[in-house]
Amino acid sequence: MVMKLKESINKLPINQILSTIIDTSLANDANYIHIEPLHDVVRIKHRISGELLIDSEISKKRFKNLSDKIKKLANIQTGYVDLISSGSFRYIWNEQIYGLRVYIMPTINGEKITIKIQNESPISTTLEALGFWGSGLETIRQAIGLKSGLILVTGPNDSGKSKTIATMLASIDNPSINIATLEDPVEYKIPRSNQTQINHKTNLNFINGIKILLKQDTDVIMLSELTNLLTISETLDSVMHKKLVISSLNTTSSVETITKLLDSGISPESLAFTLKIIISQRLVKRLCQNCRQLVDIDKTSFDKINKLFELNNPSNMRYVHNLELEYYQDKLGENHKISPKILSSTETKLKKIWISKPANCTKCHGSGFSGRIAVAEILKNSSEIEKLIVTKSKDLLINKQAVKEGMVNLLVEGLIKVLVGETTIDEIINLTKGSYLA
């Protein structure tokens, strides 16, 4: 639940109105501010933990001055209200530097202003903190340590791809490795990396950038996104030059990523040879760790889970239980004995579920959630999967082989996050429909 702005905000000076809106957003860890003109009022909203929450309103009369103030800060020309425009400015809050990207779209009620918030301090999180664990986390670490190959992070917009890639690069703590990026836009400051912003006006595009980086003795190349066939071809060529390349694609699953690349005209042999891992991820709201409680599972929750995962099937139930054990073993250490009291499952049934008790919780302001966490499936290439890629096998066959070799599919990974108290079953239901259990 977002903190309410003061009732007197409309009477404040324009500078103070803007700073109050931004401060409220930052205090609630929002990543977007929406300033929406309606027929008779202007509404302020914040995107918090993936949910767009209404916060306050200001008058249409004050909005004109507020819009001009934002435009001046973002270096956008004032005096025009019917143009699509964008810009950016920096803002300091709690000794942290934030980049605020402004996007303006004319509507029938006035200019709709969206501000994307990005912390510009060097990224300092870890893959574990993002939500990666167990054998999947180890697969990522092994891939990052390779001399060459292609690593892809996939998912829809706002699925955390950029942060995952930045965190992967930041984890390469070796000054003898030359890391370079080509980004559009640069979203995170990455330690020990040479970051370049794409600039089409100066012909600094992905293709030309890759050609120069190959001549600059670069070991690891990061491309913010594979945008077209030519970029993909140059990327695979970079891998052939013994470089490690990390990039992203907008796809719904790991195996769909392979199909999409092959459909774009990429040689199956080239893809099979260069591909190392595909991380397909989403972001879900994280259960507040301060007010969550482990309780006996209720019938409604059990029915929702059982419908998706068919846990009446003994082999499915054992599979899920073993993954829950693996999660806790990874978090607590191999030598730590896991108490049955913290488990939501046994080999034969579900018995517990985590819920939030958010009343009076100061951490989540009564919402029951705090931040977001990644849910991901990680496909590791192998000799068998290479054969399936070369023969352009169907998605189902590739997925079945990947699961056989240890991949935890996206929906199953989500269930494990439910059982260990990281999110809720409703959040996982929202991700997709159908069962991924093999």
Give residue 138's identity as a one-letter amino acid code: E
pLDDT at 249: 95
pLDDT at 85: 96
The pLDDT of 243-270, averaged and rounded, is 94
Residue 8: pLDDT band (50, 70, 90) is low
pLDDT at 388: 98
Phi, psi torsion values for 269, nearest 5 degrees = -65, -45
pLDDT at 38: 96
The pLDDT of 58-83, averaged and rounded, is 94
- CA-based nearest residue to 132, from 160, 110, 156: 160
The pLDDT of 328-355, averaged and rounded, is 92
Q: What residues contact residue 425 under an 8 Å CB cut-off, 6+ apart? A: 301, 304, 305, 353, 415, 418
- CA-based nearest residue to 214, from 248, 239, 197, 249: 239
The pLDDT of 156-169, averaged and rounded, is 96
Residue 50: pLDDT band (50, 70, 90) is confident
The pLDDT of 296-322, averaged and rounded, is 95
CA angle (289, 291, 296) in 5-degree steps: 100
The pLDDT of 165-186, averaged and rounded, is 96
Percent of the chain scored above 90 by pLDDT?
81
Kindly write down the DSSP assignment for every residue of 83-120, as one continuous string.
Answer: S-EEEEEEEEETTEEEEEEEEEEEETTEEEEEEEEEE-
- Tell me what the pLDDT averaged over the chain comes to: 93
Domains of the chain: 7-119 (3.30.450.90), 127-285+372-407 (3.40.50.300)
Residue 5: pLDDT band (50, 70, 90) is low
pLDDT at 432: 64
Answer yes or no: is pLDDT of 43 > 80. yes
Task: Judge whether 195 and 181 are in contact, CB under 8 Å.
Answer: yes
Residue 51: pLDDT band (50, 70, 90) is confident
pLDDT at 362: 85
Q: Which of these ranges, 22-31, 212-221, 232-241, 388-397, has the smallest mean pLDDT?
A: 232-241
Per residue in 385-412, pLDDT (tens digit) is 999 999 999 999 999 999 999 999 999 9
Answer yes or no: is pLDDT of 276 > 90. yes
- CA-based nearest residue to 300, from 346, 342, 257, 350: 350
The pLDDT of 362-379, averaged and rounded, is 92
How far apart CA 153 and CA 53 sit, in angstroms, is 29
**What single-letter DSSP state applies at residue 9?**
G
Give residue 8's identity as a one-letter amino acid code: S
